[in-house]
Amino acid sequence: MIARTFTLPVAAYAHEVVTLWYRPPEILLGESHYSVGVDIWPIGCIFLELFTKEPLFPGNSEIDQLFRIFQVCGTPNEATWPGVSKLPDFKFEFPIWPAREMNSVVPDLEPHGVDLFSRLLCCKPQQRIVGKDALRHPYFAGLADDWKAKFQA
Protein backbone atom coordinates (compact mmCIF):
# COMPACT_ATOMS: atom_id res chain seq x y z
CA MET A 1 0.00 0.00 0.00
CA ILE A 2 1.20 3.48 -0.63
CA ALA A 3 -0.51 5.51 2.06
CA ARG A 4 0.68 9.08 1.81
CA THR A 5 -0.80 12.49 2.14
CA PHE A 6 -2.13 14.15 -0.93
CA THR A 7 -3.23 17.65 -1.75
CA LEU A 8 -5.42 19.33 -4.30
CA PRO A 9 -4.53 19.50 -7.07
CA VAL A 10 -3.32 15.93 -6.85
CA ALA A 11 0.39 15.59 -7.59
CA ALA A 12 1.73 13.19 -10.20
CA TYR A 13 3.22 10.02 -8.74
CA ALA A 14 5.31 7.16 -10.09
CA HIS A 15 3.50 4.06 -11.36
CA GLU A 16 6.01 1.52 -10.00
CA VAL A 17 4.28 1.33 -6.62
CA VAL A 18 2.59 -1.52 -4.82
CA THR A 19 3.78 -5.12 -5.21
CA LEU A 20 2.81 -6.30 -8.70
CA TRP A 21 0.21 -8.87 -7.56
CA TYR A 22 -1.65 -6.14 -5.65
CA ARG A 23 -1.20 -3.26 -8.09
CA PRO A 24 -4.52 -1.70 -9.19
CA PRO A 25 -5.45 -1.48 -12.87
CA GLU A 26 -5.24 2.32 -13.06
CA ILE A 27 -1.56 2.20 -12.09
CA LEU A 28 -0.90 -0.67 -14.50
CA LEU A 29 -2.49 1.47 -17.22
CA GLY A 30 -0.09 4.33 -16.46
CA GLU A 31 -2.22 6.66 -14.33
CA SER A 32 0.04 9.11 -12.51
CA HIS A 33 -2.65 11.10 -10.66
CA TYR A 34 -4.15 8.59 -8.30
CA SER A 35 -5.84 8.75 -4.95
CA VAL A 36 -6.88 6.55 -2.03
CA GLY A 37 -8.49 3.95 -4.31
CA VAL A 38 -5.01 2.55 -4.97
CA ASP A 39 -4.95 1.38 -1.35
CA ILE A 40 -8.41 -0.20 -1.51
CA TRP A 41 -7.56 -2.51 -4.45
CA PRO A 42 -4.76 -4.38 -2.61
CA ILE A 43 -7.00 -4.72 0.44
CA GLY A 44 -9.46 -6.56 -1.81
CA CYS A 45 -6.68 -8.77 -3.18
CA ILE A 46 -5.43 -9.61 0.31
CA PHE A 47 -8.97 -10.17 1.61
CA LEU A 48 -9.51 -12.86 -1.03
CA GLU A 49 -6.05 -14.30 -0.57
CA LEU A 50 -6.75 -14.79 3.14
CA PHE A 51 -9.98 -16.57 2.25
CA THR A 52 -8.67 -18.75 -0.60
CA LYS A 53 -5.08 -19.16 0.68
CA GLU A 54 -3.68 -18.25 -2.74
CA PRO A 55 -3.12 -14.98 -4.60
CA LEU A 56 -5.94 -13.83 -6.82
CA PHE A 57 -3.80 -12.19 -9.52
CA PRO A 58 -0.27 -13.73 -9.45
CA GLY A 59 1.07 -11.99 -12.55
CA ASN A 60 4.66 -12.33 -13.69
CA SER A 61 4.78 -9.03 -15.62
CA GLU A 62 2.70 -5.86 -15.78
CA ILE A 63 0.83 -7.00 -18.90
CA ASP A 64 0.23 -10.47 -17.45
CA GLN A 65 -1.05 -8.81 -14.27
CA LEU A 66 -3.39 -6.57 -16.23
CA PHE A 67 -4.74 -9.47 -18.29
CA ARG A 68 -5.35 -11.56 -15.15
CA ILE A 69 -7.37 -8.66 -13.73
CA PHE A 70 -9.31 -8.25 -16.99
CA GLN A 71 -10.11 -11.99 -17.09
CA VAL A 72 -11.93 -11.61 -13.76
CA CYS A 73 -13.20 -8.02 -13.81
CA GLY A 74 -13.67 -7.65 -17.56
CA THR A 75 -11.66 -5.57 -20.00
CA PRO A 76 -12.58 -1.94 -19.36
CA ASN A 77 -13.86 0.32 -22.09
CA GLU A 78 -15.28 3.83 -22.27
CA ALA A 79 -18.76 2.57 -21.31
CA THR A 80 -17.58 0.81 -18.13
CA TRP A 81 -14.79 3.25 -17.20
CA PRO A 82 -15.07 6.65 -18.92
CA GLY A 83 -11.61 8.02 -19.66
CA VAL A 84 -9.81 4.67 -19.54
CA SER A 85 -8.76 4.92 -23.18
CA LYS A 86 -6.88 8.14 -22.38
CA LEU A 87 -4.60 6.40 -19.87
CA PRO A 88 -1.04 6.17 -21.25
CA ASP A 89 -0.79 2.39 -21.35
CA PHE A 90 -4.34 1.55 -22.47
CA LYS A 91 -4.46 -0.25 -25.82
CA PHE A 92 -7.53 -0.71 -27.97
CA GLU A 93 -5.91 -3.99 -29.04
CA PHE A 94 -6.27 -5.52 -25.55
CA PRO A 95 -8.18 -8.82 -25.63
CA ILE A 96 -11.80 -8.34 -24.62
CA TRP A 97 -12.86 -10.42 -21.63
CA PRO A 98 -16.33 -10.17 -20.11
CA ALA A 99 -16.58 -9.58 -16.36
CA ARG A 100 -17.14 -12.76 -14.38
CA GLU A 101 -19.77 -13.04 -11.69
CA MET A 102 -17.84 -12.55 -8.46
CA ASN A 103 -19.54 -15.50 -6.78
CA SER A 104 -17.94 -17.72 -9.46
CA VAL A 105 -14.50 -16.38 -8.51
CA VAL A 106 -14.98 -17.30 -4.84
CA PRO A 107 -17.92 -19.71 -4.72
CA ASP A 108 -17.46 -20.60 -1.03
CA LEU A 109 -17.67 -16.99 0.15
CA GLU A 110 -21.04 -16.00 1.58
CA PRO A 111 -23.08 -13.32 -0.29
CA HIS A 112 -22.05 -10.36 1.89
CA GLY A 113 -18.40 -11.33 1.39
CA VAL A 114 -18.89 -11.54 -2.38
CA ASP A 115 -20.51 -8.10 -2.35
CA LEU A 116 -17.66 -6.60 -0.32
CA PHE A 117 -15.09 -8.28 -2.58
CA SER A 118 -16.74 -6.88 -5.71
CA ARG A 119 -16.76 -3.37 -4.22
CA LEU A 120 -13.09 -3.56 -3.18
CA LEU A 121 -12.01 -4.87 -6.59
CA CYS A 122 -13.89 -2.50 -8.87
CA CYS A 123 -11.70 -1.63 -11.87
CA LYS A 124 -12.96 1.94 -12.09
CA PRO A 125 -11.21 3.56 -9.11
CA GLN A 126 -13.95 6.15 -8.51
CA GLN A 127 -16.46 3.35 -7.92
CA ARG A 128 -14.40 1.42 -5.36
CA ILE A 129 -15.77 1.35 -1.88
CA VAL A 130 -13.99 3.73 0.52
CA GLY A 131 -12.38 2.41 3.69
CA LYS A 132 -14.98 3.82 6.09
CA ASP A 133 -17.83 2.24 4.12
CA ALA A 134 -15.95 -1.06 3.84
CA LEU A 135 -15.66 -1.22 7.64
CA ARG A 136 -19.42 -0.63 7.90
CA HIS A 137 -20.23 -3.29 5.30
CA PRO A 138 -22.73 -5.99 6.40
CA TYR A 139 -20.00 -8.61 5.98
CA PHE A 140 -18.48 -7.35 9.22
CA ALA A 141 -21.78 -7.14 11.15
CA GLY A 142 -21.42 -8.92 14.46
CA LEU A 143 -17.68 -9.36 14.01
CA ALA A 144 -16.84 -7.31 17.11
CA ASP A 145 -19.20 -9.46 19.20
CA ASP A 146 -17.64 -12.65 17.80
CA TRP A 147 -14.13 -11.46 18.66
CA LYS A 148 -15.19 -10.31 22.11
CA ALA A 149 -16.74 -13.68 22.86
CA LYS A 150 -13.70 -15.52 21.51
CA PHE A 151 -11.12 -13.62 23.52
CA GLN A 152 -13.09 -13.27 26.77
CA ALA A 153 -13.66 -17.00 27.04
Encode 105-141: b = buried (16+ Cβ within 10 Å), e = exposed: bbeebeeebbbbbbbbbbbbbeebbeeeebeeeebee
The confidence score (pLDDT) of residue 122 equals: 95
pLDDT, tens digit, 9 for 90 and up, residues 19-77? 899 999 999 999 988 888 899 999 999 999 999 999 999 999 999 999 999 999 999 99
At a CB cut-off of 8 Å and minimum separation 6, what does 10 contact?
33, 34, 35
pLDDT, tens digit, 9 for 90 and up, residues 94-133? 999 999 999 999 999 999 999 999 999 999 999 999 999 9
What is the C-alpha radius of gyration for the chain, rounded to an integer number of angstroms? 16
> Distance from first CA to last CA of the chain, Å, rounded?
35
CATH number for the region 20-147 comes to 1.10.510.10
pTM of the model: 0.83
